Amino acid sequence: MILVTGATGNVGGKVLSLLRAGGHKVRALTRDPGRAALPAGPDLEVVAADLGRPRTLPPALDGVQKVFLMSLGANKATHDAHLVAAAREAGVEHIVQLSTLGVEMAEDPKTNPLGHWHRIAEQALWDSGVPWTVLRPNGFMNMNLGWAASIKAEGVARGPLADVPEAIVDPRDIAETAARALTEEGHEGKVYELTGPEALTGRQQLAVLGSLLGRELRFETVPLAAHREMLLRHFSEETVNGVITTLEEAIEHGSELHGRLSPDVHRVLGRAPRSFTDWARDHLHFYRA
């Protein structure tokens, strides 16, 4: 039995589908099975649990051999630690953890809080003695869906990073890598850095969308203060402060790290990572007026 956290979300949802398609028995963890509306069946159990409430975790881990582990934002360190501790007690044999690129450099919580939360979460897993695989992805291509409404309405994308090249990655490649790590031999003790095949700036990503849509699109750079206000409508203040600090660093110093190309998707999947053009073509309906 494989437990999938984040099973109603972006990467976890894709991991769940891939494992089911591969004939594996899976258990989906969600805080609210009613809202999740995942169709339970012979290959799928749905369990109510909350990574922030450790007492809910032992029943979710009963009979589980492997875990896909993700958690969010400022909760990352504590929520992962809760799951890892419960998994060790339950005798889990392998945890595949979703982390983030650049953890090894995130020593200072003041300059890189996002990376630092992930660093503490990785350390908790390593210290647990449970066999592990760590996935460190670059920014996700689907973050661009935040542009969909303004592209549709005005032909404009707004964001804080117009000119920083980033080798963003397709979340489908992250999920495929996770599914391989959970079901094949040879991935224990490995850290995989997951990037796309090319580094593109925000303006270049927008040009790809414009060319596929056959529309002239314009990039408007948003000051960080305004971007912060927008993020606060969706995320906790602690998480938003972490994101803004990381963006300030990228704007000031550029981001060699996020522009770097990694061979790891190709190594694990035996094919090139999906490009932003591939991703955009498959999601173009979100951007059409």
Ligand X SMILES: NC(=O)c1ccc[n+]([C@@H]2O[C@H](COP(=O)([O-])OP(=O)(O)OC[C@H]3O[C@@H](n4cnc5c(N)ncnc54)[C@H](OP(=O)(O)O)[C@@H]3O)[C@@H](O)[C@H]2O)c1
Which residues lie near ligand X (CB under 6 A)? Answer: 5-12, 30-32, 36, 50-52, 70, 72, 76, 98, 100, 137, 139-140, 143
The alpha-carbon radius of gyration of the chain (Å, integer) is 19
Which residue is nearest to ligand X, using beta carbons? 9
- Quick one: tokens of 224? 């960080």
Residue type, 212: L
Of residues 8 and 177, the one with the C-beta less far from ligand X: 8
In angstroms, the CA 32 to CA 49 distance is 8
- Minimal distance in Å, beta carbon 6 to ligand X? 4
3-state secondary structure the chain: CEEECCCCCHHHHHHHHHHHHCCCCEEEEECCHHHHCCCCECCEEEEECCCCCHHHHHHHHCCCCEEEECCCHHHHHHHHHHHHHHHHHHCCCEEEEECCCCHHHCCCCCCCHHHHHHHHHHHHHHHHCCCEEEEEECCEHHHHHHHHHHHHHHCEEEECCCCCCECCECHHHHHHHHHHHHHCCCCCCEEEEECCCCCECHHHHHHHHHHHHCCCCEEEECCHHHHHHHHHCCCCHHHHHHHHHHHHHHHHHCCHHHHCCCCHHHHHHCCCCCCHHHHHHHCHHHCCC
Of residues 16 and 209, the one with the C-beta less far from ligand X: 16
Q: How many CA atoms lie within 13 A of 96 on its CB side?
A: 29
- Minimal distance in Å, beta carbon 75 to ligand X? 7
- Minimal distance in Å, beta carbon 215 to ligand X? 25
Of residues 49 and 217, the one with the C-beta less far from ligand X: 49
- Minimal distance in Å, beta carbon 198 to ligand X? 17
In angstroms, the CA 159 to CA 273 distance is 25
- Minimal distance in Å, beta carbon 168 to ligand X? 7
- Minimal distance in Å, beta carbon 264 to ligand X? 14
Of residues 132 and 140, the one with the C-beta less far from ligand X: 140
Of residues 17 and 155, the one with the C-beta less far from ligand X: 17
- Minimal distance in Å, beta carbon 76 to ligand X? 6
Of residues 49 and 208, the one with the C-beta less far from ligand X: 49
Of residues 50 and 198, the one with the C-beta less far from ligand X: 50
Of residues 33 and 155, the one with the C-beta less far from ligand X: 33
In angstroms, the CA 121 to CA 106 distance is 12
- Minimal distance in Å, beta carbon 208 to ligand X? 17
